[in-house]
Amino acid sequence: MKLKVSELYLGFQNKVFEISSKNLADRGIVYKKEIIIAKLSLIKEKNCFCLNGNLETTVEYDCVRCLKKNPNKINIPINILIFEKTMEHQTRNDREIIYFNKSNDYVNLKSIFSDLIALAEPIQPLCDKKCTGLCPTCGIEKTNSCNCNKRTVFTAWDKLKDLQI
Ligand SMILES: [Zn+2]
Ligand SMILES: [Zn+2]
């Protein structure tokens, strides 16, 4: 995903970009659809360019409990300030900042978009809040006809009885 430097000065409103996930940096994200849709507006501000909008894609996360892959439609707000490299280093906590070199023809958004998508992943992705996960005894999803739970408890008690004998 690149923006022409000349395009920065012209700006755009609600422009739809179709980005191929193959053109993003590899961050270990599994894209369910190859095309990522970004709807972006670019406004020139006093000493920078402001890129706003959102990015929509469907990615696959492994559920931490049952390990099943589940697709997640994600919508990420985009709020990026683009500065020319000659500007002194900017610090803003509310926005992402990238720099471009006026001598280059393009501003590369590949890394920042990949990072934002990777950051959208929950720390512990679940297929469902109610996911009970896999049974440690039989490996079957607990929600599906597994009765090990009771038996496991009994087995523990049985072993204790053995010890007492
Ligand atoms: Zn699950
Ligand atoms: Zn079981």
Q: Which residue ranges make up each domain of the chain? A: 2-131, 132-165
CA of 148 to the centre of ligand 1 (A): 18
Ligand (nearest to CA of 127): 1
Q: How far is the CA of 134 from the centre of ligand 2 (A)?
A: 8
Q: How far apart are CA 24 and CA 3, in angstroms?
A: 14
Distance 150 CA to ligand 2 centre (A): 9
Q: What global pTM score does this model have?
A: 0.78
Q: Give 5-27 as a DSSP string.
A: HHHHHH-EEEEEEEEEGGGS---
List the end-to-end C-alpha distance of the chain, in Å, as a whole number.
71
| DSSP 8-state secondary structure symbol assigned to residue 141 | B
- One-letter amino acid for residue 78 of the chain: I
Q: How far is the CA of 162 from the centre of ligand 2 (A)?
A: 23
CB-based contact 58:73 (threshold 8 Å):
yes
* Res 1: pLDDT: 85
> How far does the centroid of ligand 2 lie from the alpha carbon of residue 142, in Å?
6
pLDDT value for 147: 75
The phi-psi region of residue 74 (left if phi > 0; otherwise alpha if psi is between -120 and 50; otherwise beta) is beta
For residue 68, give the ligand nearest its CA: 1
Per-residue pLDDT of the chain (165 residues; tens, 9 = 90+): 889 998 899 999 999 999 999 989 899 899 998 999 999 999 999 889 999 999 999 999 999 999 999 999 999 999 999 998 877 777 777 788 999 888 888 999 999 999 999 999 999 999 988 888 888 888 877 766 677 765 545 555 566 666 655
- How many angstroms is it from 153 CA to the middle of ligand 1? 23
